[in-house]
């Protein structure tokens, strides 16, 4: 079978833009890459796409690859961790059968992981403005390890999440059925490193570490790409 396809799943607010460099590096290494789109990003309440719509969109992207016989490695960041994990029920390589393709590995990067039955609640770094939900002080929380000009530039590129529709129940945790690697970002100001380690333990993930903040795709793209290559190997 040919090289697996890397499907990148963004977290809240960010969209595909921060992943361009890592995607390019992985393609240089011979891995086809795709970046999933969360329908809720850039929308506001009411009448917005919900968490379940995001999960359905990710599942559609995975299923399309699997149905064409491809192996898939999921690269998931932040909130994309629980969204992507929830989206792959029945699409793991064991469930699909090796001859038919399937998800072979999960790579979590400073990702939020929760068990089945977990009901999402507002978090301390959420800021609500009418029908929109933002990140508080993203320059210092999301982009703490970038220079001031870059942090300001990336902050301008962030888009809101809806104020409603994301606070629903986790119905499936893909890490139960597919092996995983967790890249702990030791200078993350959003998800403390100790919490990342707890989530990695929950998922039974192999742990890798780096000194990045919450978005290592921007500050340490080579490290992220190397972790993916190692996970595949």
Give how far Cα 225 sits from Cα of 32, 109, 163, 175, Å.
13, 11, 33, 20
**Domains of the chain with bracketed CATH:** 5-232 (3.40.50.1820)
Tokens of 103: 């998800």
**Full pLDDT tens readout for the chain, 233 residues:** 579 999 999 999 999 999 999 999 999 999 999 999 999 999 999 999 999 999 999 999 999 999 999 999 999 999 999 999 999 999 998 766 655 789 999 999 999 999 999 998 888 999 999 999 999 999 999 999 999 999 999 999 999 999 999 889 999 999 999 999 999 999 999 999 999 999 999 999 999 999 999 999 999 999 999 999 999 98
Place of tokens 């919450």: 214
Strand, helix or coil for residue 222: helix
């Amino acid at each position: 079978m040919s090289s697996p396809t890397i499907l990148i799943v963004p977290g809240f607010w960010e969209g595909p833009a921060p992943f361009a460099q890592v995607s390019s590096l992985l393609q240089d290494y011979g891995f086809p890459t795709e970046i999933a789109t969360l329908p809720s990003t850039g929308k506001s309440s009411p009448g917005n796409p919900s968490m379940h719509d995001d999960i359905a969109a990710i599942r559609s992207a995975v299923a399309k690859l699997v149905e064409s016989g491809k192996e898939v490695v999921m690269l998931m960041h932040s909130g994309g961790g629980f969204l992507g994990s929830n989206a792959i029920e029945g699409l793991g390589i064991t469930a699909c059968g090796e001859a038919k393709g399937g998800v072979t590995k999960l790579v979590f990067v400073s990702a939020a992981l929760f068990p089945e039955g977990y009901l999402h609640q507002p978090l301390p770094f959420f800021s609500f403005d009418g029908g929109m939900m933002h990140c508080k002080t993203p320059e210092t929380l999301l982009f703490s390890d970038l220079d001031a000009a870059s942090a300001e530039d990336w902050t301008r590129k962030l888009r809101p999440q809806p104020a409603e529709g994301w606070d629903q129940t986790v119905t499936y945790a893909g890490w139960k059925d597919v092996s995983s690697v967790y890249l702990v970002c030791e200078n993350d100001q959003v998800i403390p490193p100790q919490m990342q380690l707890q989530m990695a333990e929950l998922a039974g993930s192999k742990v890798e570490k780096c000194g990045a903040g919450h978005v290592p795709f921007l500050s340490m793209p080579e490290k992220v790409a190397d972790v993916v290559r190692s996970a595949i190997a």
